[in-house]
Chain A
Amino acid sequence: MLAIKDLHAGVEDKKILKGIDLIINPGEVHAVMGKNGSGKSTLSNVITGKDGYDIYDGQILYKNEPIIDWTPEKRALAGIFMSFQYPVAMPGVNNTYFLKAALNAKRKNAGKKDLDAAGFLKLVKEKLDDLDMDASYLKRSVNEGFSGGEKKRNEILQMLTLEPELSIMDETDSGLDIDALKIIANGVNSHRSSKRAFLVITHYQRLLKYIEPDFVHVLIDGKFVKSGGKELALELEKKGYHWLES
């Protein structure tokens, strides 16, 4: 589904990613673990197409197509989604309006008709219940005045509504208490299937207790220094990152 080959990227003259190789197949959950400044957010931003990054070398293939020149919206419509570490607040932009615009953009791209207000509401109400979210969320402005946990749930609500094939979870556990973490992990797990894949980016092993990865990669200074199964996360939890740093 996703193939990253020898990717070198950065901001202006600062090299951040220094040769990343990663292959994600449908049905797999990959975790990328690393400390602050190791390049985790850069990796998710270059996959989703955020402006301001330079790609010096390498390739990103999604379903065998090179996507480096694609706009963020084209990548999203092709099935790539990111749950943001810091979801942006948008005062005056109604959550329902936003979510419906995103869903209808996807439907339009698939040659389907817009979903009407009633159909949309029915669809979203079910997801809201799963995430233990109140319907009043829908009336609020996107992420405005949301607590940390509410923002993250809102991200998962978008994921469940848009049904992407590749979901990148960027530090989804940051700022969450254990109850919120469980709700979010349940949301993610309910979305798992043999056709969908996840890239879970995290600092700590904590989230991986609830979202079990098939593969764990350790990112240090822009490179994967070690890859392994889920037991690698436990090892990191015990030993820290020092033993992997050269």
Chain B
Amino acid sequence: MIPNYLQTEFEKIISRSYFSKKIRPIREKAFNSLMIDGLPQKKSESWRFTDLSSIKNGHFSISDKNDAPKKFIKLPKYGFESFKTIVIYNGHYQEDISSLPDGIELLSNIDYMEKHSLYVKQPYMSSFDLLNTAFMDSGMSFVIRKKEKVSTPLRLLFIYSGSNNIMVSPRIHLDLEHSSSLFLLEQHVGNCDEYLYNGSMIVNIEEGAKLEHVRIQNNSKKTINISNHHIQQKQQSIYRFNQIAFGSSLGRVNLHANLIGQGADCSLNGLSLSSGKQHLDSNITINHQASYCKSSQDFRFILKDRSSGVFNGRAIVQEGAEKTDSNQSNKNLLLSEHALMNSNPQLEIHNDDVKCSHGSTTGSLDNDALFYLRSRGIKKDDAIGILVRGFASKKVDSIKNDEIQTYVNEHFDKWLN
């Protein structure tokens, strides 16, 4: 079962003349599968604690021309002026104010797919991948050629605006060829009413290539933000992901990493800060398919008020993946007795020759630590701030970019007060 509005919107999107007809069969196939599967139900393990009624009972419409910006967008207000930025506003690519670092090739998705004779495998891990494929808009593909080390960071800036209950489904393909490297910032901002963002990003990291990926999810507290990431890593490749999530009423990040080449290294990190009635969910699967690969998951949540969080982390070690080194950690700090955290770290090991660990802790502030600080003359509120910042600092410090660290620290302080 899918909500009726999706049917109507689907008919609208396939009749849009500016989308290529060649993609239509791909959309239809995904939509038909979605109609059979429906949106996830609570009985599904990875959706047990995340309520999708705001999507099921809501009403969203695909973005149209009226949702494009009416006035010139002032980029400096979004920070990171030293980065090169691709701006996507309500699902519309803003070419006039966008720029690319040297060494990156940008293609439209249809060009990218045609290059691959339309054989680009579509993600199907969840209904939201199907939903994204059926509705994909603002499609972009980035290719970094062999040995190209892109020195300027690239930012994908998603701006959300308006009060028209828009739904957008960006589809990004990112290919890093042999021994190339990139620093990518994905930033979500905006001041809008109810909104459904369901983006999918498909990343291929070839042998010896390296991708640093930071995701700042700081859009309006009324939005729904579902983000599906599919990462495939070949031998000796490196992927580092850091998410800092402040925004949205319902935020869910799905990370699926497939380590298919020997010695691939994958590190996934997150810091989620929630307040009010926000619900932030991180759902991770790392699939070790090759030997000598290393992976880590380290997610922290700090929850205020009546907010809630979910960590579902899974590491799978396949039969042939000897000498796997995998660890998983989830630490959560509850700043209110009404906050709720669900933590579910899982290991699935089909092989004896591995080193795997996992752990999860959830608790409130340490009273002894609080007393220790206060006994040195530090006021209670300041002492709480010091401890909460200390808890978060490991995740902020793991972002290897000063501008981003400064930005995050500023927003963190605002969030705290």
Contacts and interface: CB of A to CB of B under 8 A. Distances in A.
Interface of A: 48-51, 71-73, 75-77, 81-82, 84, 87-88, 90-93, 97-98, 101-102, 105-106, 109, 141, 158, 162
B386 A73 contact: no
B392 interface: yes
The 5 A-B residue pairs with the shortest CB-CB distance in the complex, in nearest-first order: A92-B390, A93-B390, A76-B377, A102-B376, A72-B374
B378 interface: yes
Interface in B216-237: none
A88 B383 CA distance: 13
25 contacts: A51-B371, A72-B374, A73-B374, A73-B379, A76-B374, A76-B376, A76-B377, A81-B375, A88-B366, A88-B372, A90-B387, A91-B390, A91-B394, A92-B390, A92-B391, A92-B392, A93-B390, A98-B386, A101-B382, A102-B373, A102-B376, A105-B377, A105-B379, A106-B377, A162-B377
B12 interface: no
Contacts of A106: 377
Given A92-B389, A92-B393, A109 B373 contact: no
B368 interface: yes
A93 B373 CA distance: 11
A158 B372 CA distance: 12
Which of B373, B379, B383 has the most CB atoms of chain A within a 10 A radius of its CB? B373
A73 B371 CA distance: 9
Contacts of B393: 92-93
Contact of A87 (B372, B378, B394): B372
Interface of B: 366-369, 371-380, 382-383, 386-387, 389-394
Which of B368, B377, B391 has the most CB atoms of chain A within a 10 A radius of its CB? B377
Nearest to A45: B371
B333 to A, nearest CB: 11
Contacts of B394: 91-92
Contacts of B392: 92
B376 A50 contact: no
Nearest to B369: A88
A73 B378 contact: yes
Given A49-B374, A50-B375, A73-B380, 7 more contacts: A73-B379, A81-B375, A91-B391, A98-B373, A101-B382, A102-B373, A105-B378
A18 to B, nearest CB: 24
A90 B373 CA distance: 10
B386 A93 contact: yes
B241 to A, nearest CB: 21
Contacts of B379: 73, 105
Which of A72, A77, A158 has the most CB atoms of chain B within a 10 A radius of its CB? A72
Contacts of A77: 377
A72 B386 contact: no
Contacts of B372: 84, 87-88, 90
A72 B367 CA distance: 13
B215 to A, nearest CB: 22
A206 B394 CA distance: 41
Nearest to B368: A88
A72 B371 contact: yes
Nearest to A73: B374
Given A90-B390, A92-B389, A92-B390, A71 B373 contact: no
A50 B371 contact: yes
A109 B380 contact: no
B398 to A, nearest CB: 12
B251 to A, nearest CB: 24
A162 B378 CA distance: 12
A20 to B, nearest CB: 20
Contacts of B367: 51
B15 to A, nearest CB: 54
Which of B387, B390, B392 has the most CB atoms of chain A within a 10 A radius of its CB? B390
Nearest to A143: B372
Contacts of B378: 73, 101-102, 105
B407 to A, nearest CB: 19
Nearest to A50: B371
A141 B390 contact: yes
Given A76-B376, A82-B375, A88-B368, A105 B390 contact: no
A41 to B, nearest CB: 12
Contacts of B373: 98, 102
A93 B387 contact: yes
A105 B379 CA distance: 8
A60 to B, nearest CB: 15
A49 B371 CA distance: 9
A145 to B, nearest CB: 14
A163 to B, nearest CB: 11
Given A51-B367, A88-B366, A101 B386 contact: yes
A88 B366 CA distance: 9
A49 B372 CA distance: 11
B99 to A, nearest CB: 37
A107 to B, nearest CB: 10
Nearest to B393: A92
A75 B379 CA distance: 11
A92 B394 CA distance: 6
